[in-house]
A and B are shown apart, each in its own frame.
Chain A
Amino acid sequence: MLKRTALFEIHRAAGAKMVDFGGWEMPLHYGSQIEEHLAVRAGSGMFDVSHMRVVDVNGADALQGLRTLLANDAARLEPGKALYSCMLRHDGGVLDDLIVYRLAGEGAAFRLVVNAATGERDLAWMQQVRRERGFDMELRMRADLALIAVQGPSAGARLCRAVPHVARVVESLGSFCAAAQGDWFLARTGYTGEDGFEIALPAPQATELWSALAGADVAPCGLGARDTLRLEAGLNLYGAEMDESVTPLESGLAWTVDWREPREFIGRAVLESQRANPGLRQLLGLKLLDRGVLRAHQAVATAQGSGEITSGTFGPTVGCSIALARLPAGVALADEVSVALRAGPARARVCRPAFVRHGRVLQ
């Protein structure tokens, strides 16, 4: 029996094509994922992301605990700010990627948003580390919350139109900032490469917000569009670009590892030794030059050896097929490589792992 969010009935009533996503029955699209993708870049769209897990972190050792658990440094956070980080195993393998928010107020209280499929495992891991280190830390999974992401250049304006009483907070939030309003939590974060807001709110209030947003011309968008949007934006997907078998350094996420202080975080030692390895694989972008569609797991032939596509799709905004791929060291931007498509070998150009930012095609 698949799990359902508070918005399940509204998706079904809207004619969504529902699919199993990590044990949750979620909308793939409401008619056309390409149209939904384009709607987000042109104006706005909304996503039910209530399958993702919210974990609140409190206690005297909350900050120390997060500085131990996360490869990025939670001490960088001022109240009301957000940070993107990986959480690693002792061998440097990635357990999950997540966003950590530092809540406003005097105490050091934090909120994590982690992936749906890994949420329970993440929590068990954090509890284990808490026990082993004797941290005074309270970890609470907030299954009582729903999560709606409103994304696109018009996201803020339409959110304010739909829910006037959050306008003041929405207008005050800078990028990667967050604030509470009553029992809602609004963050100017997202997974599309566009401006936007992610709202955590009590599940019983989700349908009302969704309907109000629909009334303000925000288009419902499913997981299909979510994937093409994030891939065009060059954003990693846990389970595709990284998993426990690779480190952030091989996944294009070296920028999320904070080495600046002598901070002992789980996985640091392995990462330090990997940093010195000139043969380390790298995550880069590919743009298909021939007709077809790049897909995950397709082999990539380069002058430096073979690599593999981690995520591939047809990008509706770029107008061609794009991919992220783990490639050997030495492969350079602008190199032409060969990908084993279903129909035969096809040519692709190596590029930076980002194809669209704020509606603009980058290269």
Chain B
Amino acid sequence: MRIPEELRYTESHEWVQTQPDGSVLVGITDFAQDALGDLVFIDLPAVGKAFAAGDVIAVVESVKAASDIYAPVAGTVTAVNDAVKDAPEKVNRDAYGAWLFRMQPQEPAKLQGLLDAKAYQTTVDSEK
């Protein structure tokens, strides 16, 4: 199960990548896509909507189950990945290449509170 060193993570299996402009791309991890199986629907948030940390911000549905995706930090959605909405299997094939939405964090410092790769590995190990 891949866990790229340069990303940050949440306990609920989202990955977060900081962009040069301070926004973040968010997706689900390899562990999450493997646990879910083939994805068939992805419901993405409305662009412009604000969320608190931990709010349900998106939903992914696989053949097996539906799963909530949570906002990793408080912020506003600035873009969604329509390509993934039309072809959810992209997330299964390349979880870290298939971002779901971009958001502008309300407090960039909060990103430091996310898990690093090593801490996320511990999370994954405890769920196996």
Is A130's beta carbon under 8 Å from chain B?
A: no
Q: Once bound together, how far apart are the Cα atoms of A214 and B89, in whole Å? A: 25
The number of chain A residues with a CB under 8 A from chain B is 15
Q: Are B38 and A293 in contact (CB under 8 A)?
A: no
Smallest Cβ-Cβ distance to A31: which chain B residue: B92
Chain B residues lying within 8 Å of A228, measured Cβ to Cβ, are: 63
CB distance from B38 to the nearest CB of A (A): 4
Smallest Cβ-Cβ distance to A35: which chain B residue: B38
Q: Are B61 and A34 in contact (CB under 8 A)?
A: no
CB distance from A43 to the nearest CB of B (A): 19
Smallest Cβ-Cβ distance to A321: which chain B residue: B40
Is B41's beta carbon under 8 Å from chain A?
A: yes
Given A291-B41, A292-B41, are A34 and B34 neighbors across the interface (CB < 8 Å)? no
Is A121's beta carbon under 8 Å from chain B?
A: no
Besides A34-B38, A314-B40, 12 more A-B contacts (Cβ < 8 Å) are A29-B38, A32-B89, A32-B92, A33-B37, A34-B40, A34-B63, A293-B40, A293-B41, A293-B63, A314-B63, A343-B43, A343-B66
Q: Are A293 and B66 in contact (CB under 8 A)?
A: yes
The total of interchain contacts (Cβ-Cβ below 8 angstroms) comes to 36
Chain B residues lying within 8 Å of A33, measured Cβ to Cβ, are: 37-38, 63
Is A313's beta carbon under 8 Å from chain B?
A: yes
Q: Are B63 and A313 in contact (CB under 8 A)?
A: yes
Is A90's beta carbon under 8 Å from chain B?
A: no
Q: Are A224 and B66 in contact (CB under 8 A)?
A: no
Contact mask A8-20 → B, CB, 8 Å, 1/0?
A: 0000000001000
Is B59's beta carbon under 8 Å from chain A?
A: yes
Smallest Cβ-Cβ distance to B34: which chain A residue: A17
Is A28's beta carbon under 8 Å from chain B?
A: yes
Chain A residues lying within 8 Å of B64, measured Cβ to Cβ, are: 224
Chain A residues lying within 8 Å of B38, measured Cβ to Cβ, are: 29, 32-34, 224
Chain A residues lying within 8 Å of B66, measured Cβ to Cβ, are: 293, 342-343
Q: Once bound together, how far apart are the Cα atoms of A33 and B61, in whole Å? A: 14
CB distance from A283 to the nearest CB of B (A): 22
Q: Which of B61, B63, B66 is packed against the most chain A CB atoms within 10 Å? A: B63
Contact mask B49-61 → A, CB, 8 Å, 1/0?
A: 0000000000101
- Report A212-263 residues with CB < 8 Å from chain B CB: 224, 228
Chain A residues lying within 8 Å of B59, measured Cβ to Cβ, are: 343
Smallest Cβ-Cβ distance to B59: which chain A residue: A343
- Report B10-61 residues with CB < 8 Å from chain A CB: 34, 37-38, 40-41, 43, 59, 61
Given A293-B61, A293-B66, A314-B63, are A34 and B89 neighbors across the interface (CB < 8 Å)? yes
CB distance from A200 to the nearest CB of B (A): 29
- Report A295-336 residues with CB < 8 Å from chain B CB: 313-314
